[in-house]
Amino acid sequence: MFVFNFNKTTMPVFYRKATFNTYLNSIKSQNSTLGFIPTMGALHLGHLSLMQQSLSENKFTVVSIFVNPTQFNNPVDLAKYPRTLESDLEKISNLNDQIIVYAPSVEDLYDGNPISQSFDFDGLENQMEGKFRPGHFDGVGTIVKRLFEVVNPTNAYFGEKDFQQLQIVKKMVQKNHLNVNVIGCPIYRESNNLAMSSRNELLTVQERHDASIIYSTLITSKEKFKTKSAQTVELWAKKNFEKDKTFKLEYFQIADEATLLPCLIKNKNKKYRAFIAVFVNNIRLIDTILLN
Ligand code: PAF
């Protein structure tokens, strides 16, 4: 075990699953609960809020920091993804130095074979992110399943910003009969309502400021959806971005929250969400809002 020393605090940090497993087995007893927050690092307040929730609901909390290569369909995106382990460890230990950190290498976690398993998520994988990032959800399913096997958590916490990912992880757990509660947590936003994301670090100050257009589009859509069809709202959102030179809309989709299928005719018994993906200077940002 490596002990991270910061401001006289010590926090257990593991880089290898063998030592990490031995440690977990030594501290866990039959009824102790373990909360788990899988991350790719570059931690922000959104991640810290998931940790806070886990700390309040479990005896132990584990955070993994691992930039998973198999979920990136674009090698440039993978290369550019921020890697900030030292400052991530500092942020976690400032929050609570009892948190256990697992920060493996690709070699350790994939046993030298970083390839994706192929999953059937009952069609959830074919919508939105799945259309624009081929193979992405196979990569997510593979790594989350593997992490669940290594960590064996009672509760696992995921942000609702990646709502499609949350639904896919729930489906993976259900189909594989895994004994984990998957808990969706509210989106944490910056002061201009930009959803917190590790990718925000890659934006210029101006881009970060102007990225408020994403949330303002969502909130106006919510208002419009009260009286207009999904198609009319989608068209309006697309037009809203045509005027903008900095932000390029990849998709704006209103979909059934459970199936993620596009909303063709509104059904008052269903819950709908707007989903958006936008490029600014090759940096991809996503967000979502519940509409009804
Ligand atoms: O949401 C993320 O940060 C990643 O997709 C996850 C769940 C940690 C898997 O690599």
* Interval between CA 62 and ligand 1 midpoint (Å): 14
Per-residue pLDDT at 1? 64
pLDDT band at 265 (very low <50, low <70, confident <90, very high): very high
Mean pLDDT of 190-216: 96
Is a pLDDT exceeding 90 seen at residue 9? Answer: no
Mean pLDDT across the chain: 95
Nearest-atom index, ligand 1, CA of 162: 1
Is a pLDDT exceeding 90 seen at residue 7? Answer: no
Ligand 1 and 286: CB distance under 6 A: no
pLDDT band at 179 (very low <50, low <70, confident <90, very high): very high
Per-residue pLDDT at 214? 98
Q: What are the catalytic residues?
A: 47
Is a pLDDT exceeding 70 seen at residue 180? Answer: yes
DSSP string, 221-289: HHHHHTTS-HHHHHHHHHHHHHT-SSEEEEEEEEEETTT--B-SS--TTS-EEEEEEEEETTEEEEEEE
pLDDT in tens, 10-41: 899 999 999 999 999 999 998 999 999 999 99
Is a pLDDT exceeding 90 seen at residue 3? Answer: no
Mean pLDDT of 233-248: 95
Is a pLDDT exceeding 80 seen at residue 256? Answer: yes
Mean pLDDT of 91-97: 96
Mean pLDDT of 61-82: 95
Ligand 1 and 169: CB distance under 6 A: no
Residue 61 host element (H or E): strand 60-65
* Interval between CA 144 and ligand 1 midpoint (Å): 8
Mind spelling out the 3-state secondary structure of 159-198? EHHHHHHHHHHHHHHHHCCCCCEEEEECCCECCCCCECCH
> For the chain, which domains are there?
2-185 (3.40.50.620), 198-290 (3.30.1300.10)
Q: Which residue has the higher pLDDT, 194 or 7?
A: 194
The CA distance from 89 to 86, in Å, is 5
Is a pLDDT exceeding 70 seen at residue 6? Answer: no
Ligand 1 and 200: CB distance under 6 A: no
pLDDT band at 8 (very low <50, low <70, confident <90, very high): low
Contact partners, residue 196, CB within 8 Å, separation at least 6: 44, 45, 46, 161, 187, 188, 189, 190
Per-residue pLDDT at 269? 96
% pLDDT > 90, the chain? 92
Is a pLDDT exceeding 70 seen at residue 66? Answer: yes
Ligand 1 and 70: CB distance under 6 A: no
Which protein residue's CA is at the shortest distance from atom 10 of ligand 1? 68
Ligand 1 and 160: CB distance under 6 A: no
